[in-house]
Amino acid sequence: MVQKSMKIQLSSGLEARPVAVLVQKASQYESTVYIEAEGKKVNAKSIMGMMSLGLNMGEEVTVIADGQDESAAIESIETYLSGKE
């Protein structure tokens, strides 16, 4: 299991479209991927779960991945949330 804290750098925060992209990215990996914020932990492969977090730019989240490709999953999500993609 790998977990990493990161800050959301997307200008619109995690609204509908960015959440959909994030869910697609997480779903590319076999590992389980969770996003933890404000005391809530949701499956990053669940669009409804991710929408329930209502995250904005600048907020801190912890991404937790567990499985064969956990490092690649964390790296991909970090690149996306940092706005570098």
CATH number where 14 lies: 3.30.1340.10
Residues 6+ apart with CB under 8 A from 16: 51
**pLDDT tens series, the chain, 85 aa:** 999 999 999 988 888 899 999 999 999 999 999 999 989 999 999 999 999 999 999 999 999 999 999 999 999 999 999 988 7
Could you list the residue range(s) of the whole structural domain that residue 57 is in?
2-81
Please state the domain count of the chain: 1
Q: Which of 41-78 are b and which e, b meaning 16 or more Cβ less than 10 Å from the residue's Cβ?
A: ebebbbbebbbebebeeeeebebbbeeeebeebbebbe
Identify whether the C-beta of residue 81 lies closer than 8 Å to the C-beta of residue 75.
Answer: no
Residue with tokens 């619109």: 12
φ/ψ of 53, rounded to 5, equals: -75, -30
Task: Give pTM, 2 decimals.
Answer: 0.92
